[in-house]
Amino acid sequence: MKTVDSKKQELGIPEIIAQYLEQTMTEDDPPIQAQLLATVREGTLEGADVVQIGNTVFFAHRGKGENKYKMVGHSFSVDTGRNFIANCIKYLQYLQDKNITHYHTNLVDDELVPAMQMIQKRLKKTEDSAMYIGITEDDTYLVYVKLGKDPIR
């Protein structure tokens, strides 16, 4: 995957999403225009939270009622691997600031598993946050994060 180092050049949200979708697209996927339209629509849904950190865009949806401190999301990243890990840590800090206690995402790309494992090790240094990585029946990875009060560094 072609990356753009955010320490040298920070892209805008539309550029990040378009580049990510173009680079990860398969023959079975809908046309790029349809994917872009669906992504824009998702970002405007009630409860949607869209955050850019470096050249990574995080989309998440907050629960309602008793689930108001839980979020489900995914990311689009064209940043370098090292920056992606730092961006994810900053995003988890952002979620802590919003009092989010639980976050989960599916990883479509197996290549992100080592990055998630590095983040998992960082979370073990906190008193009350943790990350769990599992494989679903359709061979995608599920990442579940429990966020505590102890600040993530």
Write out the two tokens for 125. Answer: 């240094």
pTM: 0.94
Q: What is the pLDDT of residue 108?
A: 78
d(CA 118, CA 113): 9
Q: Which of the 8 DSSP states describes residue 110?
A: G
Residue ranges and CATH numbers for the domains of the chain are 13-146 (3.40.630.30)
Q: What is the pLDDT of residue 139?
A: 86
Q: What is the pLDDT of residue 7?
A: 98
Instruction: Give every residue of the chain whose pLDDT is below 50, as ranges.
Output: none
Q: Which of the 8 DSSP states describes residue 34?
A: H
pLDDT tens, position by position, 30-41: 999 999 999 999
Q: What is the pLDDT of residue 74?
A: 95
The residues, any chain, with a CB within 8 Å of residue 144's CB and separated by 6 or more, are 102, 103, 104, 131, 132, 133, 134
Ranges assigned E (strand) in the chain: 48-53, 56-62, 70-77, 102-107, 130-135, 141-146
48, 60 in Cβ contact below 8 A?
A: yes
Q: What is the pLDDT of residue 145?
A: 98
Helices (H), 44-135: 81-97, 113-123
